Chain A
Amino acid sequence: MSLRTVEMALATPGVDRDGNASRVPLGVGGYDEDFGAEHMLVNIGPQHPATHGVLRLVIELEGETVKRCIPHVGYLHSGFEKLGEYRHYNQIIPLTDRTDYLSPMANNVCLALAVEKLMALEVTERCEVLRVIACEMSRIISHLVWLGTTGIDLGAFTPFLWSFQERERIYNLQESWTGARLTTSLTRVGGMMADIPEGWEAGLRDFTRTFPDTLKEVDTMFTRNAIWIGRTQGVGALTADEAINYSLSGPMLRASGVDYDVRKDRPYLGYESYDFDVPIGEHGDIYDRYRIRLEEMWQSNRILEQALDRLQGLKGAPINVDDPRVILPPKSRAMSDMEAMIFHFKQVMEGVKPPAGEAYMGIENPKGELGYYFVSDGTAKPVRWRIRPPSFLNLASLPRMCEGALLSDVIAINASVDIVMGEVDR
């Protein structure tokens, strides 16, 4: 549309002060010369669906351009770190379910790994494979929620339904394995809460076979979609140096072109023996973050297939370490054997006791690097349990990304960070 047609369309005939006919811009009676010179303050949240939780943003606007964005967090603060200081190590596992509640199983795994590092325990091979499956299932469901909700934020409703349909299948598998859909509490120090039920592998195998169809559909819908590209390319971009300087991690860091994945660079759970690729972005904008998360789901699917193959060779292998200091004896033995009963009693009443020392364990969670830092003084309760929250650190870069963006882009940028307020506020 040329400038002239815009004037025609937006102006209505009127009369000026001297009684001559003139054109008055539509909807702006008594046009003010100063209009738009003042900055406007806009409050978004804490109760707003586009903030993905109880995030509150105070935004200073000049016209439609963001001059400054001030995030306020803490509305969901639950004091998990303080609560952890009053609990046995195994009792902390239910708290981890509730931090990043979109990937509870991966959080459980990180906690078990951190305490095992503190105690220098080595878990069994079957346990490692099951934990890899738990981590990758979590990555897929977390990315699916991200994909669906971001699509909705940018006006695409259908992929939300596709992704939640696939997510539901994983949730059903999660439920039949752990008994819970969200509060999984899957791991224990030195092993797992439960082995997978009979015939469970077939369900996951079925998922890995058909899940790529959905990924292809999403790819067709978004990747070359003009609206999607227009809303995401070049928006909220961060350079590699900035991403490192802001301590970003996960897909946010890799979208800016930094090749860093904890699974590759400091392998745990035998990730070095799986065949998978780590996608790296180039521009650091929302589009690259989308491409990376989409590709990570393909790669997670690959890892799941490999893990299922390994699981076949480990049928009937133990899932727990053979160490009565950390693992409960089977109930039948605890009821018949004196020694087993003593171990059972001490385990339940006193808890696991790591030696004095400290350990930091970081794993590649869907949102980024999740780290648990424990300081132990040799008792059954930690002196300090620190969560290194990936969404908190990723969200801290939001004011930088929003500078100079349009108000509507703030919604897209905020969605691209992939925050979970349960983890940001802890």
Chain B
Amino acid sequence: MTSPSIPGLRAEFGPAVERVLVSCGDTIVYVTRDRSHDVLAWLKDAPGHQFNYLTDVTAVEYRDSELPLEVVYQLRSLSRKADIRVKVALDKRAPLQVRSVVDLWRGADWLEREVYDLFGITFTGHPDLRRILMWETYAEGYPLRKDFPLRGHFSRAEQTRQALAANPEAHYSLEELSIAEAFDELPPDMRQRLARGERGYLK
């Protein structure tokens, strides 16, 4: 049984709704990348739909490298006790970009940062898109991508060398230091290193 929201969605967005399928009782809607934000905003507020709760944002990459990456939004209507899963397929040959939904749900803030961190998908319009689980200077790539080996791209020796060379002083971001006006009080050499964007690893 597909979700009762599908006819309304098709009438409102027409060809932007690419595909609808059901898996294990859950309705999945594929929408185009250009209209994803509009579709999600409509689902959130349209009377009779009101998917006001964002359960989860994540991404899926399939083992078949020809298949596109998918950004997955799990939506729920708390009042109607209904769920819907919205997916946006991203062609790997084009830049991996999709509109951020932080303006609709503040809860998407960290979820989108995590998808960016682990999959390398950019959310345009996100107020603070930086790595969250990995550290900001992490240079090995995006861990949940299928071309990322389980042990990482760098050798164990290189990983150890970088960990030992890390500079604990540089664990504050420039932004954090500037808000507290503490930046000016740092020793000049550290100020220069931070200004160069050098943050705890050897070049």
Contacts and interface: CB of A to CB of B under 8 A. Distances in A.
A41 B176 contact: yes
B55 A245 contact: no
Contact of B58 (A247, A359, A386, A397): A386
A70 B106 contact: no
B23 A359 contact: yes
A83 B150 contact: yes
A396 B107 contact: yes
A413 interface: no
Interface string B15-27: 0000000011110
A68 interface: yes
Count class of interface residues, chain A? 35 or more
B55 A362 contact: yes
A265 B53 contact: no
Contacts of A120: 24
Q: Taking each of B26, B56, B134, B150, which has the highest tally of chain A beta carbons within 10 Å of its own beta carbon?
A: B56
A276 B109 CA distance: 35
A60 B110 contact: no
B105 interface: yes
B78 A258 contact: yes
A218 to B, nearest CB: 31
Count class of interface residues, chain B? 35 or more
Interface in A332-391: 357-360, 362, 369, 371, 373, 375, 377, 383-384, 386, 388
Given A41-B182, A247-B55, A371-B56, A74 B81 contact: no
Given A38-B181, A117-B25, A360-B83, 14 more contacts: A38-B180, A70-B176, A74-B135, A86-B150, A242-B106, A246-B107, A358-B24, A360-B26, A369-B55, A383-B61, A388-B74, A392-B114, A396-B107, A397-B106
Closest 9 CB pairs of A and B: A247-B107, A41-B180, A359-B24, A74-B133, A396-B110, A357-B23, A388-B56, A77-B133, A384-B60
Interface of A: 38-41, 43, 58, 60, 67-68, 70, 73-74, 77, 79, 81-83, 86, 117-118, 120, 242, 244-248, 258, 260, 265-266, 357-360, 362, 369, 371, 373, 375, 377, 383-384, 386, 388, 392-393, 395-397, 400, 425-426
Interface of B: 23-26, 28, 52-56, 58, 60-63, 72, 74, 78, 81, 83, 85, 105-111, 114, 118, 131-135, 143-144, 148, 150, 172, 176-177, 179-182
